[in-house]
Structure 1
Amino acid sequence: MGIDLSIIWFVIIVFSTLMYIVMDGFDLGIGILFPFIRDNADRDVMVNSVAPVWDGNETWLVLGGAGLFGAFPLAYAVIVDALTIPLTLMLIGLIFRGVAFEFRFKATPAHRPFWDKAFLVGSILATFCQGIVVGAVISGFPVAGRAFAGTQLDWLTAFNLFCGVGLVVAYALLGASWLVMKSEDPLQQKMRELVKPLLLALLIIMAIISIWTPLTHSQIATRWFSLPNLFWLLPVPVLVVLFSFWLWKSSYSKTSLHSTPFVLTLALIFLGFSGLGISIWPYIIPPSVTLWQAAAPPQSQGFMLVGALFIIPIILVYTFWSYYVFRGKVQHGEGYH
């Protein structure tokens, strides 16, 4: 049996996307949480907690996009054509947030509120657009003759916008749990208090999406609720409930490890991402184009794989080392200036 390069590349792209969601998620979440924190010193601690690592997180987004372009050119062409507007707005949000990140430390006290607002708006815009993309992938794309057959506003649906709101809540929860781990009182206590309402909001959103998708997509309903699939997939919602209960308890427990809420939030994000993958598999352009139909020639995938196997370990080592070096709590008055 030969090696299925399409499966390998799908795993690489999924891994890159998940790494981006995890690492840039709490980064964007910190910007989303700015309205809840008015003290400038606390806001500095929030930003300084990600200052050494934030600009490296987008590496995974670039890797995932480049992998999709090279390994599944049909999927890249269709998705970019269908989602030109939200993807462009996402990039504008990321750029604006990056500029605000640098300028808020250099600005005069009179100008800092403007850059704080820019950091907030850029974070929300980028996150909201990413959620729209997730919703659009679940909803699917019309394809005719290896090209996108819809309009530029097909993404503008209630479901996709709801997914955008859901991702804003998810990233805010990631940011809050990250700051529980990286900050000290009183900021840490404020973040503990925010974890509970954000978790409750996220669970409500996940429940609504879990009901909405099978009601509107029969193939997703069949995937989740037909036998024996129901028994095989039951651990996903069960684990969501268990991890949520554990996260709720750890959010106000002073005796648990400060890293526990963040780890549990990561587990919830992973389970949600797994649910998405289960729902659309094996389609890379739902509901009709599979991985293999959208794949590049094996020669191209093999050529790219050589480079990927070289660069991915380097990115992982660099990422691990940067987080290891800057581990521990962030104190007031120290960090990026």
Structure 2
Amino acid sequence: MIDLSLIWVVIIAIGVFIYVMLDGFDLGIGILFPFIKDKQERDVMMNTVAPVWDGNETWMVLGGAALFAAFPVVYATVLSALYLPITFMVIALIFRGVAFEFRFKSQRSQHWWDRAFIWGSVFASFCQGVILGAYIQGIPTNALGVYTGNGWDWLTPFSLFTGVGVVVLYAALGCGWLIFKTVDRLQKDMYALMPKLLMALFVIFAAVSIYTPMAHPDIAARWFNPDLVMYLSPVPLLVVLFTFLAIRACHHGYELRPFIYTLALMFLAYTGFIISLWPYIIPPSLSIWQAAAPESSQLFALIGALVLIPIILMYTIASYWVFRDKVRIGDDGYH
């Protein structure tokens, strides 16, 4: 018998990963704006993502819709628990999106739109990290999966720390993207900045990896289970390896490798997150099967997803292929 709940978890997990990957470097460019003062170089930074930035956010919408269709209890509970940071994130994304459209059309007020782009990017990234930290900490529910906490349970030192961690992660992704897509002084500045971001990211990964098992005995029991340790130990070892490779790639002047290696670090962090919480979709109490919608509902939604997801993938790949070249000062965006 086909496990529809498991299929939907895979779809949602892949959708969230693609969103974090694509919108991560997109948001990272706004986070990096304060490090670059030259107006023309800032124009180049925005032009590297101008054709694709709004399409990147399709995957966030897909993830939310899939969660509502396949796991409505999770949708209701998580939104109840994390209503404020999710609202703040959406407001920040609105400011950022408006800044994207208005910045190139303004003259005297362009510096204000630069600030909206910077703070929209930073705050949206920070809120995503806070949501991640609050989710890892766990969401208190009753036997029916109804949220039993208050509106401020998400606000803890750990969630604030993971908020900063996601900001650093997105900045590193944005840095790698700009190394790949730009030339001359802007590219050199990114080469100089990226090793610092990677070292900060490594420290953040290490701190989260140490704190999480200490605070959650069930997570510690999984990672240090003698029967599983052989299979799970490659994850932290690969984090060390890819951090070294990414820094080395910057020193050697490789253009694509720093971005690819940073994506690998993000994938490893995401893998560790899934390993720590599996099979709970509302940690620490509700599994994916307990929170699943009726099979008929899951099957109906799955048919639509199998039609739409390949279309979204195709136009996403096509847009990146069409706009694959580097962007230089003096280019009037993409032609």
TM-score class, shorter-chain normalisation, is over 0.9
Structure 1, residues 138-185: CA drift from partner, whole Å, max 9, x if none? 111000133100000000000001000000000000000000000001
Distance apart, 1:336 and its partner CA: 3.6
Q: Secondary structure at the match of 1:294?
A: coil
Give me the whole-angstrom Cα distance separating, in 2, the residues matched to 1:292 and 1:72: 9
Q: Secondary structure at the match of 2:153?
A: coil
Q: What residue is the counterpart of 1:22 in the other structure?
A: 21
Give me the whole-angstrom Cα distance separating, in 1, the residues matched to 2:201 and 2:103: 30
Give me the whole-angstrom Cα distance separating, in 1, the residues matched to 2:247 and 2:8: 37
Q: What residue is the counterpart of 1:265 in the other structure?
A: 262
TM-score using structure 1 length: 0.98
Give me the whole-angstrom Cα distance separating, in 2, the residues matched to 1:161 and 1:243: 26
Q: What residue is the counterpart of 2:233 in the other structure?
A: 234
Q: Secondary structure at the match of 1:284?
A: strand
Give me the whole-angstrom Cα distance separating, in 2, the residues matched to 1:32 and 1:38: 13
Give me the whole-angstrom Cα distance separating, in 1, the residues matched to 2:330 and 2:73: 50
- Give percent identity, aligned residues only: 56
Give yes or no for contact 2:85–2:130 (8 Å, CA) kept in 1: yes
Segments of 5+ residues of structure 2 without an aligned counterpart are none
Q: Secondary structure at the match of 1:106?
A: coil
Distance apart, 1:197 and its partner CA: 0.5
| In the alignment, structure 1 residue 128 sits paired with structure 2 residue 126 | yes
Segments of 5+ residues of structure 1 without an aligned counterpart are none
Q: What residue is the counterpart of 1:291 in the other structure?
A: 288
* Matched letter for residue 196 of structure 1: P
Q: What residue is the counterpart of 1:160 in the other structure?
A: 159
Q: Secondary structure at the match of 1:107?
A: coil
TM-score using structure 2 length: 0.98
CA RMSD of aligned residues (A): 0.8
Q: How does 1:321-336 map to 2 (within 5 A)?
A: 321-336=318-333
Structure 1, residues 1-26: CA drift from partner, whole Å, max 9, x if none? x0000000000000000000000000
Give me the whole-angstrom Cα distance separating, in 1, the residues matched to 2:251 and 2:186: 14
Q: What residue is the counterpart of 2:213 in the other structure?
A: 214
1:112 to 110, 113, 126: 110
* Matched letter for residue 183 of structure 1: T
Q: What residue is the counterpart of 1:193 in the other structure?
A: 192
Give yes or no for contact 2:145–2:286 (8 Å, CA) kept in 1: no
Give me the whole-angstrom Cα distance separating, in 1, the residues matched to 2:134 and 2:228: 24
* Matched letter for residue 313 of structure 1: P
Q: Secondary structure at the match of 2:84?
A: helix
Give yes or no for contact 2:73–2:145 (8 Å, CA) kept in 1: yes
Q: What residue is the counterpart of 1:203 in the other structure?
A: 202
* Matched letter for residue 140 of structure 2: P
Give yes or no for contact 2:29–2:175 (8 Å, CA) kept in 1: yes
Q: How does 1:36-75 map to 2 (within 5 A)?
A: 36-75=35-74
